[in-house]
Structure 1
Amino acid sequence: MNREAEGLVWHLGDWVISNTVITTWLIMLGFGLLALLLRLSGYQKPSSLHNALEAVLVAIETAVADVVPAAAVRRVLPFVATLWLFVLAANLVGLLPEMHAPTRDLSATAALAMLVFLSTHWFGIRAHGLGGHLKHYCQPSVILLPFHIISEITRTLALAIRLFGNMMSLEMAALLVLLIAGFLVPVPLLMLHVVEAVIQAYIFGMLALIYIAGALESNEPDSSNREENL
């Protein structure tokens, strides 16, 4: 099979490094360099970039504060903000020549969905303890335990497939339009891509935030006190 058709870049025995992996690493490297640059530049004279990033962070913090308990905002914010920004960058990178959005690859969206799944239980266990977190799966009756487990699995699958399906269909639609109309309509097409990329990143991040908030919900009489002590 053609290597380009498979999207393969490099082999190391049984290990395969694909375009998705390379692009993901480049996005993480970009965020790392940006953070280092901002740290080295200092905050004595904030630049327009500082102000723009601060506005983005404030907007994300406001969204988090509207969903999760006030005591947990600072704890949840780093993960949710990183997730939101990464998914947005991954969606938009497909606009660059010879680049493809990692989120059009099911393996990438499945990994992101698994991170959300694990983080949901991590935050829930930190807030209520292992017993308290597991207890809510048996409420209001232990009979509902299998249904809660199925719900956890299906919503994780839906999270991965929704993002993958939307980004894949977006790139396929853009390719078809370019094949039919050539480059006569590039600007509207780019605007559509940007809008859809932002919307999909927002939906993914908001669903992750809602799942985490559900795990943080108080299910024990003394959980509010425990939350303040964390």
Structure 2
Amino acid sequence: MQLTPDQTVVFTLGQWQVNATIVNTWIVMILLAGISMLVTRNLRADKAPGRWRSALELIVTMIQGQIEEVTRSSARHVLYFAGTLFLFIAASNVLTVIPGFVPPTSSLSTTVALTLSVLVAIPLFGIAKGGVRQYLRKFIEPSMIMLPFNIIGEFSRGVSLAIRLYGNVMSGVVIAAILLSIAPFFFPVVMDMLGLLTGFIQAYIFAILATVYISSAMADPPLDTSDKDK
């Protein structure tokens, strides 16, 4: 029983083996891009939105509202990054209702790649908000002795993100495989419904945690009380 798409080779290109993780990742990306193009192809301010456009705007508005609650500001630029993470993970997990489709998020390589993108985005957003000096200053707060601990804490965030997403998805795949082997005619419907719910929850948690880490990097430094007293 293959639980991760890394073990399934779809086709080969010379000496390179293309596994199901890569293929399914491209399927999700093409699907999301195609839906976005179809929904927004006739996007005009003087035209009433249709059902698909209204549904897409509702999703975007909900994601933006959650981000603004975390950042406590109108951080629309964070929406593009965190929203993409949410839609990719949610779509990957929801597509498990299709027989034979294994979500790319059940591969550790995919979760690590998503986490690395978050780790790169954190300093980029922080530097864009307050500059290099202000961002690096946070690593020596409240004193210089905290520098190694702050650096370790920064990388531990990424490790926790990758392991959390991978563990959640893999646990769902294992449970589904066990239940399907016990009662293949009853549990598929239950597992499909449960997969839809857990898929959105996993995507929401990952995107929110990424937003929290980015907002902490963008936060203004605390006021120097010693200078204020003077």
Could you say whether these structures have the same fold, taking a TM-score greater than 0.5 normalized by the shorter chain as the test?
Answer: yes
Give, in angstroms, the shift of residue 112 of structure 1.
0.3
The corresponding residue for 2:37 is: 36
Which region of structure 1 is more displaced relative to structure 2, 136-145 or 212-221?
212-221
Alignment of 1:103-142 (within 5 A): 103-142=105-144
Secondary structure of 1:66's counterpart equals helix
| Corresponding residue of 1:45 | 48
Distance 1:166 1:212 in 2: 23
What does 1:90-105 align with in structure 2 at a 5 Å threshold? 90-105=92-107
C-alpha deviation, 1:18, in angstroms: 1.4
Q: Is the 8 A contact 2:6 2:107 kept in 1?
A: no
Assess if the C-alpha contact under 8 Å between 1:132 and 1:220 holds in 2.
no
Deviation at 1:11, TM superposition (A): 3.2
Q: Distance in 2 between matches of 1:17 and 1:164?
A: 21
8 Å CA contact retained: 2:107, 2:166: yes
Task: Quote the Cα distance in structure 2 between the aligned partners of 1:184 and 1:125.
Answer: 53
Given that 2:6 and 2:19 are in contact with CA atoms closer than 8 Å, whether structure 1 keeps it comes out as: no
Tell me, which stretches of 5 or more residues in structure 2 are unaligned?
224-230
Q: Conserved in 2, the CA contact under 8 Å of 1:69 and 1:216? A: no
| SS of aligned partner of 2:11 | strand
Q: Secondary structure at the match of 1:11?
A: strand
Give, in whole Å, the separation in 2 of the partners of 1:36 and 1:5: 30
Q: Which of 185, 208, 211 is 2:210 aligned to?
A: 208
Instruction: Please say if 1:57 is aligned against 2:69.
Output: no
Tell me the equivalent position of 1:17: 18
Task: Please give the TM-score of this superposition, normalised by the length of structure 1.
Answer: 0.89
TM-score computed with the length of structure 2 as normaliser: 0.89
Deviation at 1:25, TM superposition (A): 0.8
Q: CA deviation at 1:97?
A: 1.2
Q: Deviations over 1:145-186 (max 9, x none)?
A: 111111111110110111111101101101110100121232
Q: Give me the identity figure in percent.
A: 36
- Aligned twin of 1:217: 219
Aligned length: 218
